[in-house]
Chains A and B, each alone.
Chain A
């Protein structure tokens, strides 16, 4: 989607290695989110940010950390990747945090082997 870019789009990594996914926005929106999507589970919130250096946990945060040192970038790190973290990861941004205003990126497909 315009204004939000996720990188990489695809990644294969080995169990136990660290992985960082990047979400970059050009909209200057305050709120940024990381979700994972798995078959049968819909999208589940991992972490979110409500400002630079302001982050909090979502419903499935174990094994993940995030950082937001600039308004435009929100990084998701898997400190030691496991096979259970194989998933599609989506980043979203929101100007106000209102339910109608989320814009999602195109996703990163991560495979941990």
Chain B
């Protein structure tokens, strides 16, 4: 999997938008960008995945520029319950890719 770099921590307040940027300069042509979210005392859960441009679902948006060397996870109007660790992973889709590795992630703390 391509190496990724993301901030260790971010603080925000309720109602604000949180943007987490992940750098992945060595991303390969067939790599996808995947984000997981982990709440305290729980296992991670998948939140969004993209290949290029923009992807949006009920939880977040993922923005990927044309060169794909970085991506930004956007959490709109966060609440206290969005306090979690967010992991950025970059790797290929395919039958042989079955070993996800998670780095330290970005700890997002939302305050009232």
- Give the total number of A-B pairs whose CB atoms are below 8 A apart: 68
B97 touches A99 (CB 8 A): yes
Residues of A within 8 A of B93 (CB): 98-99
A41-B104, A42-B102, A45-B99 given; A100·B49 CB < 8 A: yes
B101 touches A104 (CB 8 A): no
Is A50 an interface residue when CB atoms closer than 8 A count as contact? yes
A42 touches B46 (CB 8 A): no
B97 touches A90 (CB 8 A): no
A98-B93, A99-B91 given; A105·B100 CB < 8 A: no
Q: Which of B34, B44, B100 gathers the greatest number of chain A CB atoms within 10 Å?
A: B100
List 9 extra interface pairs beyond A97-B96, A99-B97, A106-B43, CB under 8 A. A1-B43, A33-B99, A41-B104, A42-B102, A43-B101, A43-B102, A44-B101, A45-B101, A99-B49
A42-B87, A42-B105 given; A99·B41 CB < 8 A: no
Interface residues on A, range: 20 to 34
A97-B98, A99-B34, A99-B97 given; A106·B42 CB < 8 A: yes
Q: How many residues of B contact A (CB 8 A)?
A: 25
Q: Which of B96, B98, B101 gathers the greatest number of chain A CB atoms within 10 Å?
A: B98
Identify the closest chain A residue to B36 (Cβ).
A102
8 A Cβ contacts from B19-50 to A: 32, 34, 36, 41-46, 49
CB distance from A97 to the nearest CB of B (A): 3
B43 touches A99 (CB 8 A): no
CB distance from A29 to the nearest CB of B (A): 11
Identify the closest chain B residue to A39 (Cβ).
B104
Is B18 an interface residue when CB atoms closer than 8 A count as contact? no
What are the 10 A-B residue pairs with the smallest beta carbon separation, nearest first?
Answer: A104-B43, A97-B98, A43-B102, A99-B34, A42-B104, A42-B102, A100-B49, A42-B103, A90-B43, A31-B98
Q: A58–B102 Cα gap in the complex (Å)?
A: 12
CB distance from B98 to the nearest CB of A (A): 3
Q: A90–B102 Cα gap in the complex (Å)?
A: 12
